[in-house]
Structure 1
Amino acid sequence: MKACPTVAPSPLFCAYLALRRTSTDHSHAYPVMAAGVVRKKSYVDGCLVSLNSVDDAFRLVGKLSVRLQKGGFNLIKRASNGPVVLTHMKGDELPGINGNISTQTPDVRGALGVQRDVTSGDFTFQVKMASVPRTKT
């Protein structure tokens, strides 16, 4: 990256641009799907992807990990609604679990104000209405 488009860019914005640039720079060596995930399914420091099978998930994570490590990025804190996927993750890749994997109880993950029950796939969020009117009366 040679320049940022604003006078005082935020660190998150610069990191996001660097992440996208890393994906673009190494797109020739990896599948189109891995590049599309970074371009279309990433927001700030998170990525949400839904795949048809556990095998597809393992392949995608492997390709993304290798591709992004070339730019100095490491995929960490993964979550899945598939118990098989959870059992193959290392303890430091599981947010809030600390290596103790329990596939019998629902596990709820939160990001950007949205909670997701990874067992059922349900999303929940809370809406807080302001106590004062949003416009002048």
Structure 2
Amino acid sequence: RVAINKSFYVDNCLQSLTCPIAAKTLINKLRHLLADGGFELRQWASNNPDVICHLPPDLRSSSCELWLSQGQSDIQEPALGLHWNCKSDTLTYKHRHIDCSVATMRNIYRVLASQYDPLGYI
């Protein structure tokens, strides 16, 4: 229940755990708990294949599925306006290119203001 209260943002759940067994346990508990309320969680992704390999392919994220089944390494999973690389376990922002010869504070602020940053990293 703590994961539901603290780790959900709209329909995304972002949770970081230190061991695969704890992550697998959390997935199973969340699936059963939310299924009781009529919700089916989908698009599961992990940087550890053992965490989601027991799930049916239709419940896994398509980008994670490409990584697991086809070995593609540069797969980006969208997560709250960020892009998460499952394999390298890194978060990145996509930003628009500044079309000017000089980077002014005004242009920099324009790009910053256009970023969706619910986690407050920028």
Decide: shared fold, TM above 0.5. yes
Distance in 2, Cα, partners of 1:99 & 1:126: 22
**Letter matched to residue 67 of structure 1:** L
C-alpha distance in 1 between matches for 2:28 and 2:51? 13
- Structure 2 match to 1:70: 36
Instruction: Determine what percentage of the aligned residue pairs are the same residue.
Output: 31
Match of 1:90 in 2: 56
Aligned twin of 2:9 = 43
TM-score by length of 1: 0.62
User: Any idea what SS the aligned residue of 2:62 has?
Assistant: coil
Q: Does 1:125 align with 2:93?
A: yes
Instruction: Write the letter of the residue equivalent to 2:28.
Output: G
Greater C-alpha radius of gyration: 1
User: 1:66, CA displacement in angstroms?
Assistant: 1.1
Q: How far is 1:44 from its partner? A: 0.4
Deviation at 1:89, TM superposition (A): 2.3
In structure 2, the residue matched to 1:59 is 25
2:71 is equivalent to residue 104 of structure 1: yes
Alignment: residue pair count: 99
CA RMSD of aligned residues (A): 2.5
